[in-house]
Chain A
Amino acid sequence: MSVTFRSKLFIASALAVALAAPAAAQNIKIGFHAPLTGFAASDGKSALQGAELAVEQINAAGGVNGRKLELVVQDDQAKPEQALPLANKYIGDGLKIVVSGSYSGPTRAAAGVFHKAQIPYISAYAIHPDITRAGNYVFRTSFMGEVQGRAAAKLIGDNLKKKKVTLLTLNNDFGQALSAGFKEVAGKFGVQIVSEYTYAMGDRQFGSIVASVKKDDPEVLYVSGYFFNGGPLVAQLRAGGVSAQIVGTEGFDTHNFISIAKEAAEGVMITTSLDRDSKLPPMRKFIEEYETKFKVPADMVAASTHTAISVAAEALGKAGANDGAKIRAAIAGIKDFQVATGRISFNELGEIYKAAQIQVIKGGKFRYFATIDDPVLLAPPTK
């Protein structure tokens, strides 16, 4: 019995290998790492789903020069120490392009390695400024923190015509960059900062900050952070009787933020790159197909990894899949390319320009409020 079974198994596996091998050899492999476990696993899941949808859509439309795309996924746990082994594995396996669907820690650690190996590396939504400074093989498809902070200052001063602002700043690179960008241009828009409180990534209880905000009585709160601290923070502010307008960032751009803060989320505005009411075809298609496929609304993280994969595919289409230098040049040359996060162009540092979308939460959903499309104000740094 066991012999027959074994030989059947052998034949079956031999057949499987024989059938699968030629098809697999033709696929173009794109490295993709994200925090699939650990504290950032929620964003990791969105990131992977956004990337998978991009690959699926591109393959359904005939792939890249007739070849299918294939993601080679690794889990980085959002830890910098995971980045090196993971990068070396991609390099050892001969991959020619890698996308980071992760936070700044691992992305920053891996960026230099990929640049040295002359492998184009696209950071989908990690925001640390040093990532693209690692070298000209490194690109980013999300806003710099500073750029988003500037957009928020314009929103508050120009669109909302408010003056007195309190900043509630997350004390990591994301929060600090947002705060710095905001302060840099606040004066220009007549915005006066009455106070600033910083909090840590692990904080979920904000009683002391709520009490302080009530004392300072600002017209607007500019809140940085992610949905898992921003959600409780916004809920606690509202429960504590604070009625000032709340302006958040793309860190809140997920349905998880609304499901945590519930009614308290109503009226909160965010600066982001995903417009739910967009008419731009790739953005529309992304939002609709994402929700159909994964049964959850699309978010910024998924849109950013979708964008990064689209950029990779566009470059592979122009430059072929064998030469890192040619792929790099093709990415750098991208201008006014329409993707899930709008019309994008890269500057000489590998940073992106795109319009900032202001979304407001109404009836438990993100809706269009305004677009800030100001190439001077939103210009990313060039060095």
Chain B
Amino acid sequence: MFYVELLLVGLVWGCTYAMMALGLTLVYGLLRILHVAQATVFTLGAYVGLLVANHTGSLALAFVAAALAAGALGPLIYRLIYQPILDKPPFVALVASIGVLIAMEDGFRLMFGPSGLSFADNTWFTTTYSLAGMVLNLVQVWIVAAAVLLLSAFAVFAARTRAGVAWRATVSDPQMAESFGVGVIGVRYLNFLIASLLAGVAGVLVGLLNNLVEPGMGGVISYKGLAIIVLGGLGNVPGTLVASLLLGVVESYGSVFLDRVMDRDAIAFLFLIIVLMVRPQGLLGKAH
């Protein structure tokens, strides 16, 4: 049962990575930008969710507010930071993105204080279910549910709707899509909107799971998200999801059995190195 519980813990972690990494892989697929500043969107979502939850007592309102705030910030970062430098080499956008992350981390510190905030009444955290000696709380259940729901919604959107078809066409060939009348600029905003909604919701969920929202909370998950999209095969959506879950599970076992040797984040990057040595194109990427 202990091993099953570790597996569940790992899958929950993997679902938080998936919600974060999907947005990163979407942005990379479309613009070839490593969108590290997604961490800022994630952290903003967490803070807005926490403040709304603590003032209104409603987690539903908290998620709506977090999604709105995150959904506004992501496209704004695109408009103000990335769009003016799109004609520059990709590393310029990466440097700008890291700059946004660092500046906003201290911005959050100035706005909300350095020591982090916690939910006044985290009922999801304290609501637990026992199953054969294993204990899961409602946050963990919701993380899995949210990941499945949101990622399925995205899959349906991409496969079945006009906007989804336009989006896929733009990813595979922007010039061709544009000559067929697809509004490329609109697709870019849509892309950042989807990525940011996911990140904002993930921010609140991780805040609930940790029972702590703090200025630097987005950094690690964002860098790990970059590792995951490389692991999955850059721009490859199914590969990103598989890599997210796999990494969560590897970390869960690793953090108990390899803890004397290396910490959880080191395990993540060691895993990345090993996979890339065997499969340089990523888990589900196609070899060139």
Contacts and interface: CB of A to CB of B under 8 A. Distances in A.
Contacts of A45: 114
Contacts of A65: none
A232 B210 contact: yes
B118 A211 contact: no
Given A39-B216, A212-B256, A260-B212, A171 B114 contact: no
A314 B273 CA distance: 56
A301 B206 CA distance: 29
Contacts of A203: 255, 263-264
A318 to B, nearest CB: 37
Contacts of A215: 2
Contacts of A261: 211
A199 interface: yes
A202 B126 CA distance: 23
Contacts of A259: 118
B256 A209 contact: yes
Contacts of B133: 214
Given A202-B220, A239-B126, A208 B116 contact: no
A262 interface: yes
Given A197-B259, A231-B211, A205 B13 contact: yes
A44 B265 CA distance: 26
Interface residues on B, range: 35 or more
Interface stretch (B4-12, B66-74, B167-175, B275-283): B4-12
Contact of A241 (B114, B128, B209, B220): B128
A50 to B, nearest CB: 15
Interface string B11-26: 0110000000000000
Interface string B107-146: 0010001111010000001101010011101001000000
Contact of A228 (B13, B106, B115): B115
B253 interface: yes
Given A202-B265, A207-B252, A208-B255, A231 B114 contact: no
Contacts, number: 99
A194 B210 CA distance: 26
A200 interface: yes
B183 to A, nearest CB: 40
A207 B9 contact: yes
A39 B218 CA distance: 13
Contacts of A42: 113-116
Contacts of B137: 239-240
B147 interface: no
Contact of A211 (B5, B113, B211, B251): B5
A91 interface: no
Nearest to A170: B263
Interface string A172-213: 000000000000000000000000011110111101110110
Interface in A254-312: 256, 259-262
Contact of B253 (A171, A208, A232, A239): A208
Contact of A204 (B10, B128, B210): B210
A41 B116 contact: no
B144 to A, nearest CB: 13
A198 B259 contact: yes
Interface in B170-193: none
Contacts of A39: 216
A241 B135 contact: yes
Nearest to B121: A262
14 contacts: A37-B106, A39-B216, A41-B109, A44-B114, A171-B259, A200-B264, A202-B265, A203-B264, A205-B13, A205-B210, A208-B6, A211-B9, A232-B212, A241-B130
